[in-house]
Amino acid sequence: MPNFDQFEKKIGFSFRNRKFLETAFTHRSYLNENRAPSAGWRREHNERLEFLGDAVLELVVTEFLFAKYPEKPEGDLTAYRAALVNTQSISAAAQKLGMNDFLLLSRGEARDTGRARQIILANAFEAMIGALYLDQGYNAAKDFIGKQLFGMADEIVEKKLWQDAKSRFQEVAQELMGITPSYKLLDQSGPDHDKRFLIGAYVGPEKISIGEGKSKQEAEQDAAQKALQAKGW
C-alpha cells in the first residue's frame, strides 16, 4: 500500500477522511485482485469521484478563464477550457505531482504505459478533485486546481494549443499536400463503461499515426495531434 502521507505533504492538504484519498487512487481493475475490506471499510474504485471531480474542474476552470480573459468571446473561452482540462493537460499535471507512484492498479494495468496510463492518471486527477471537494469543500478543490493547472493557460493561448488538432491537421495537410486526412478505426476493446478505441490517421494511403481514447472522437483527436508531431507541423 502506498504511503499516502507523502502525497498529502506534496499537495499541502491533510484529509479528514482518508477513505476519500485512497479511493481517488483506486482503479477499477485493482478491486478484481483485492476483494478484501480495507481498514474496516469496503473499498471502492474512483469512477464516482472522477464524475464529481470532472464537474468541479470544469466550473473552477470556467470561473478562472472568465475572469482572466474579460474581452474574449464564449467560443474562445470554450476552446481554452477544453485545452486546459483535456486528458493530456491533466495527466501531465498528475505526472508532475507524482500520482503515478500512488495508483492502486491490477498487475496487468500496472504494466500499461503511454496513452493508456495517461488516461488512468487523468481520471485519478479528476477523482482527487472530487475527493478534496467532499473532504474539505469547494475552496480546497479550487486551490488544488489553481496550483496545478492555471499556470498552463498563458502557454495554451500564446502557442494556440487550444486549436482543434483535427482541424489543424486537415488545414496543413491540404495546404502542403493537397490531401484531406482520413481516419480509420483499427481496434476497440474493453467493457461498455471503459471502452478504448484505436484510430489511425492517414494522408492518402499513408498511415501517419495511431491515436487512443475513450471515444472515437477522442482517439481521432489524439491521432491528429500525434500526426502533427510526426510530420513536424
Confidence of residue 230 (pLDDT cuts 50, 70, 90): very high
Confidence of residue 43 (pLDDT cuts 50, 70, 90): confident
In one letter, which amino acid is 102? F
If phi > 0 it is left, if psi is from -120 to 50 it is alpha, else beta; for residue 232 that is left
State the sign of the Cα–Cα–Cα–Cα dihedral 35, 1, 110, 195.
positive
Q: What is the pLDDT of residues 61-99, one digit of tens each?
A: 999 999 999 999 999 999 899 989 998 899 999 999 999
Task: Note the pTM of the prediction, 2 decimals.
Answer: 0.73
Active-site residues, by number, are 54, 126
The 3-state DSSP class for residue 218 equals helix
Q: Is 151 exposed, middle or buried (0-12, 13-18, 19+ CB in 10 A)?
A: exposed
What distance in Å separates the CA atoms of residue 65 and residue 153, rounded to the nearest whole number? Answer: 8
Confidence of residue 49 (pLDDT cuts 50, 70, 90): very high
39 phi and psi angles, rounded to 5 deg: 50, 40
What distance in Å separates the CA atoms of residue 28 and residue 44, rounded to the nearest whole number? Answer: 8
Q: Domains in the chain and their CATH numbers?
A: 4-158 (1.10.1520.10), 165-231 (3.30.160.20)
H/E stretch holding 9 reads helix 4-11
pLDDT recorded at residue 21: 96
